[in-house]
C-alpha cells in the first residue's frame, strides 16, 4: 500500500530516476517512492535482444511523440521516440555507450552550475558502469590502447563491452582512415575527448548477451526493498493506481523530477512552473514565472552516405541463419561479399545551434506535449550539416586498402 509520506518522491522510473532511487534507498532509513505511468517490461525480448531496438519505435513500448511539421524539412514530421517502459529510453535506444565531451561540462559550470564541471562528474561516470574488455587479440585489432584502466568503470551496474566484434578489416581500417585524414585520436572518450576514429562499446551484458539498462541493472536487484515502489499514471505527485484510486504523496525531504526531456517540462507547466503567458492562456496559476522551461532543447539529425564496397565483415548478417541458432552467436554470421554490396556512414550534427521547444497545449495531463523541433532553422546549421556528408565521402575515398 502506498503511504502518505516518503523521504523522497522521484517522479518517473526512467534512466535517471531509477538510478537515483536505488542509490538513495541503499540507506535502509531512507524511504523513496517512484510513481511511474508505465509497466515493468523486464525480460521482454524486444528490449533484451540488442538488435531489436529499432523495432520498438511506435509500439506499446514507445510514448510515440511526434514533432510538428518542420518548415526546413519540407513539412516532414519527425518522430521523437521515448521509452514507455520502466527504465525509460535506455530500454529502447541503440545501446551505444559514449561519454559526453569534457569541454561541454566545463562550459556549464561558469554559467551558474557549480559542481557540474568534468572533474566533478567524471567519478560518477566511472561509478555507474563496468567496461568488460575483449581478449588481447581483439583489443589489439581494435586499437583499444586508449582505454585508461584508471578511469574506466570496473564495478558499476550497467554492463558495457565490445560484444560481437570479431576480427574483420573494418575494425582496423576505421581508425587508420581517420588518422590518414589528419584526425589524430588523443586522450580518449572516457577522458572526455572523442576526436578521431575509435570503436565504441555497447551497453550489453557480456554474459547474458542482453541489453543492460536502468530497470535491469538498478531496479531489478532493488525491487525487493519494500521502500521502492512503482505505480501507474501520474500527475505530479498526485497519481492514480490501476484501480482508479487517486493518491497524493508528500515528500518529507525532496521531490525529484526525472521524467525525461519532454515529460519533465510538461509536469512543470501543469504545476504552474513555466512562462506566464502560456500558463495564463491555459488558465493555470503561475507559481514560478520561468519562460525558459523547455525552450532551448538541442536535438541532432543524422544523414547517411553510402558507397559501393566489396568488404566482408560482421556488419553483413544473414537473416536465414537466425533460425539455425537457439543461443547467442557472435561469429560466423558473415557472408561472402558480392557485387552491389555497400558501406554506409552515418553523420550527426552533434551541436546544432537551432533550438527546439516542447510545451503543453491543454490541461489534460494525458495529452502529449507540443514539440517543435526547429530542425535546421538557422542557416549556419545547414551549412555545417551539409559538410557532414562531404566529410563522409572523403572518408570513403581515403579509406585504406583494408576495406577496398
Is the pLDDT assigned to residue 379 strictly greater than 50?
Answer: yes
What is the DSSP-derived secondary structure letter of residue 176?
H
The values of phi and psi at residue 27, to 5°, are: -85, 115
Contact between 263 and 247 (Cβ < 8 Å): no
Please give the pLDDT value at position 394. Answer: 74
Is the pLDDT assigned to residue 234 strictly greater than 80?
Answer: no
Please give the pLDDT value at position 309. Answer: 59
H helix and E strand count, the chain: 11, 17
Q: Which helix (H) or strand (E) holds 346?
A: strand 342-348
**Mean pLDDT within 209-238:** 68
**Mean pLDDT within 43-68:** 93
Mean pLDDT of the chain: 82
Is the pLDDT assigned to residue 109 strictly greater than 60?
Answer: yes
Is the pLDDT assigned to residue 235 strictly greater than 60?
Answer: no
Is the pLDDT assigned to residue 224 strictly greater than 60?
Answer: no
> Within 13 Å, how many C-alpha atoms sit on residue 81's CB side?
19
For residues 80 and 179, what is the distance between their CA atoms, to the nearest angstrom? 35
For residues 381 and 130, what is the distance between their CA atoms, to the nearest angstrom? 36
Please give the pLDDT value at position 344. Answer: 74
Give me the percent of the chain exceeding a pLDDT of 70.
81
Is the pLDDT assigned to residue 232 strictly greater than 50?
Answer: no
Is the pLDDT assigned to residue 338 strictly greater than 70?
Answer: no
Name the band, by pLDDT with cuts 50, 70 and 90, for residue 225. Answer: low
Please give the pLDDT value at position 276. Answer: 96
Helix, coil or strand: residue 106: helix
Q: Which string of DSSP letters, residue by residue, matches 29-90?
A: T--EEEE-SS---TT-HHHHSGGGGGGGTTSTTB--EEPPPBGGGTTB--EE--B-STTGGG
Contact between 36 and 16 (Cβ < 8 Å): no
Contact between 396 and 305 (Cβ < 8 Å): yes
Is the pLDDT assigned to residue 308 strictly greater than 60?
Answer: yes
Residues 6+ apart with CB under 8 A from 154: 126, 130, 131
Exposure string of 391-402, with b = 16+ CB inside 10 Å and e = fewer, is ebeebbeebeee
Q: Which residues pair with 239 in a beta bridge?
A: 234, 247
2-40 residue pLDDT tens = 677 888 999 989 999 999 999 999 898 998 888 888 888
> Within 13 Å, how many C-alpha atoms sit on residue 176's CB side?
14
Please give the pLDDT value at position 312. Answer: 46
Please give the pLDDT value at position 339. Answer: 56
Q: Among positive and negative, which fits the CA dihedral 387, 349, 393, 304?
A: negative
Please give the pLDDT value at position 328. Answer: 53
Classify residue 206 as exposed, middle or buried by CB count within 10 Å of its CB (0-12, 13-18, 19+).
middle
Give me the percent of the chain exceeding a pLDDT of 90.
43
User: In angstroms, what CA-CA distances link 382 with 210, 300, 335, 388?
Assistant: 38, 12, 38, 10
- What is the reported pTM? 0.82
Is the pLDDT assigned to residue 265 strictly greater than 50?
Answer: yes
For residues 47 and 91, what is the distance between their CA atoms, to the nearest angstrom? 6
Alpha carbon dihedral 134, 135, 136, 142, in 10-degree steps, equals -40
CATH superfamily ID and name for 1-44+55-95+211-258 = FAD/NAD(P)-binding domain (3.50.50.60)
Q: Which three cell numbers stand for residue 71?
A: 518548415
Amino acid at each position: 500500500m502506498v503511504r502518505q509520506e516518503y523521504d523522497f518522491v522521484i517522479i518517473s522510473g526512467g534512466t535517471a530516476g531509477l538510478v537515483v532511487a536505488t542509490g538513495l534507498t541503499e540507506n535502509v532509513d531512507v524511504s523513496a517512492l517512484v510513481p511511474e505511468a508505465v509497466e515493468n517490461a523486464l525480460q521482454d525480448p524486444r528490449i533484451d535482444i540488442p538488435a531489436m531496438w529499432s523495432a520498438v519505435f511506435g509500439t506499446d513500448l514507445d510514448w510515440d511523440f511526434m514533432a510538428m511539421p518542420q518548415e526546413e524539412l519540407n513539412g516532414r514530421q519527425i518522430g521523437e521516440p521515448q521509452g514507455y517502459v520502466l527504465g525509460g529510453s535506455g530500454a529502447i535506444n541503440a545501446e551505444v555507450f559514449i561519454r559526453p565531451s569534457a569541454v561541454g561540462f566545463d562550459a556549464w559550470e561558469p554559467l551558474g552550475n557549480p559542481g557540474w564541471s568534468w572533474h566533478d562528474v567524471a567519478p560518477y561516470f566511472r561509478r555507474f558502469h563496468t567496461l568488460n574488455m575483449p581478449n588481447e587479440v581483439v583489443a589489439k585489432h581494435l586499437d583499444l590502447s586508449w582505454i585508461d584502466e584508471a578511469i574506466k568503470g570496473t564495478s558499476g551496474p550497467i554492463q558495457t563491452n565490445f560484444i560481437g566484434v570479431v576480427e574483420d578489416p573494418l575494425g582496423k581500417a576505421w581508425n587508420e582512415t581517420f588518422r590518414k585524414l589528419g584526425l589524430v585520436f588523443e586522450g580518449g572518450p572516457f577522458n572526455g575527448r572523442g576526436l578521431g576514429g575509435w570503436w565504441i562499446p555497447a551497453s550489453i551484458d557480456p554474459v547474458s548477451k542482453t541489453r543492460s539498462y536502468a530497470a535491469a541493472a538498478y531496479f531489478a536487484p532493488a525491487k525487493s526493498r519494500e521502500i521502492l515502489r512503482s505505480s501507474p499514471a501520474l500527475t505530479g505527485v498526485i497519481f492514480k493506481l490501476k484501480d482508479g484510486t487517486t493518491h497524493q504523496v508528500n515528500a518529507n525531504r525532496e521531490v525529484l523530477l526525472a521524467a525525461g526531456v519532454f515529460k519533465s517540462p510538461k509536469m512543470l507547466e501543469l504545476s504552474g512552473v513555466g512562462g506566464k503567458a502560456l500558463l495564463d492562456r491555459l488558465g493555470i496559476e503561475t507559481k514560478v514565472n520561468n519562460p525558459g522551461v523547455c525552450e532551448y532543447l538541442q536535438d541532432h539529425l543524422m544523414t547517411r552516405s553510402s558507397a559501393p564496397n566489396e568488404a566482408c565483415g560482421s556488419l553483413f548478417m544473414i537473416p536465414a541463419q537466425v533460425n539455425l541458432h537457439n543461443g547467442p552467436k557472435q561469429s560466423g554470421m558473415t557472408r561472402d561479399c558480392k557485387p552491389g554490396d555497400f558501406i554506409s556512414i552515418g553523420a550527426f550534427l552533434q551541436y546544432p545551434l537551432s533550438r527546439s521547444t516542447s510545451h503543453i497545449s491543454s490541461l489534460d495531463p494525458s495529452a502529449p506535449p507540443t514539440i517543435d523541433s526547429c530542425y535546421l532553422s538557422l542557416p549556419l546549421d545547414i551549412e555545417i550539416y551539409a559538410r557532414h556528408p562531404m566529410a563522409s565521402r572523403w572518408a570513403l575515398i581515403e579509406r585504406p586498402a583494408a576495406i577496398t
